[in-house]
Amino acid sequence: MGIKGLTGLISEIAPAAMKEHDIKTLFGRKVAIDASMSIYQFLIAVRQKDGEMLTNDAGETTSHLMGFFYRTIRIVENGIKPAYVFDGKPPELKKGVLSKRYEKRAEAKEDNEEAKEVGTVEEMDKFSRRTVKVTREHNEECRRLLKLMGIPVVVVYAAGSEDMDTLTFSAPILFRHLTFSEAKKQPISEINLQAALEGLDMNMSQFIDLCLLLGCDYLEPIKGVGPKTALKLIREHKGLKGVVTHLRVKWVLYSPSPEVYRMWVEADKKKQRAAEKAEEAQPESESEDEPAATSDVEKPDHDDSDGEREVTPKPKPKPKKKGKGKGKGGVVIPEEWPWEEAKAIFVKPDVTPADEIELEWKNPDVEGLVQFLVTEKGFNEERVRKGADKLTKFLNSKQQGRLDGFFTVKPKEPTKDAKGKGKLKVDAKKGIKRKGDDKETSTGKKAKTKK
């Protein structure tokens, strides 16, 4: 699950909350990883060159096992101790979202069958990925694999997930891109919850309200409310309760009569039809803003350098429909919008207390891995044994301590004789360069060098 627009909002309003890391800088950390999201990623990304998922001779899917085995080894090789967290029973409020996902997968399945008959390789690849579903069998196989690898499945330093709602559940630090392949060369993104709260100038309760207003799996998004509007509303009304009251009162006071509203809708439809006719009448050669054909083709995660593919231009997008969103009467909150129930899921989630969980990293069961991956799933025995050797070496090696475990960084105390220091701090934030700044900075650097 994600929170719509939250990453962009934090990066703009609270940039100090976000950092980028090379995976090697995280050695010595214990990180909880979202297992369900990882399975889904591996089923989509780990594929053959023809775009199909990896399978064994019996036709069983093995993409998720391949991803878990080798990506976990890469994480362990870099001194990180992973613990995988699997999803429990979904809340009742999520049933609507799950049913919509099922409908979308069904549509994608039909499109995929059609693409196999008349479509291009790119279309087949795209629709095939949209039909992916994580099953109970996938979960059970990954649990079995991790147990054989000696990796615990269930307090740790951070949570590794692509879902921004991890922060809404009060995870202090979120790592994104942790399980990405090394070939992508994607730096690991860190988001610090406390720094985000300080940058956004709100408490945890208001942050949860902001996430609910932006849109999540438990609530229908409110049309016309984007990240900046949501932030403004939460700040003005101090919380979602005040926002909901304000918007509903405003709609009652300023909403049009049914007759006027129908006139608005009909006028918008006429404008839309006129725009579509004008678009159809325009010759294709006169379109200056149409992008190059190759820029719109979705790049598959696997390497296609061995063969050429036919590239077809993406059709020009239709004009955006007007009249949907804020409308002429303002932002409208749906009648059934149980935000208080959704907030309760984030405030009091159904979780196992931390003091009841004991994380233990063990030696891998080498023969068990060979039996499962080689005999049952058709993996290469030599590679499996080499992977098991790496797990044994890095899980049991005595790790070098982190410097931040020995030292605590203390903020500098202002001196009495430093005239204008307060202004200097403000100017530094704004990026204004003042006379004497270079001198003070160079002096500071020399002092650090001598020390």
Q: What is the DSSP string of 23-80?
A: GGGGTT-EEEEEHHHHHHHHHHHSB-TTSPBPB-TT--B-HHHHHHHHHHHHHHHTT-
Domain spans of the chain, in order of start: 6-251+342-396
Q: What CATH architecture is 6-251+342-396? A: 3-Layer(aba) Sandwich (3.40)
Residue 53's pLDDT is 84
Residue 403's pLDDT is 52
Residue 382's pLDDT is 96
Which residues, other chains included, contact 57 with Cβ-Cβ below 8 Å and sequence gap of 6+? Answer: 378
Per-residue pLDDT tens over the stretch 161-184: 777 888 888 889 998 888 776 666
Q: How far apart are CA 171 and CA 191, in angstroms?
A: 10
Q: 349 and 90 in contact (C-beta within 8 Å)?
A: no
Per-residue pLDDT tens over the stretch 117-158: 555 556 555 555 666 788 889 999 999 999 999 999 875 555
Res. 371 pLDDT band, cuts 50 70 90: very high
Residue 57 pLDDT exceeds 80: yes
Residue 89 pLDDT exceeds 50: yes
Average pLDDT over residues 442-451: 43
Task: Tell me the β-bridge partners of 188.
Answer: 21
Q: How far apart are CA 37 and CA 441, in angstroms?
A: 45
Q: How far apart are CA 198 and CA 17, in angstroms?
A: 9
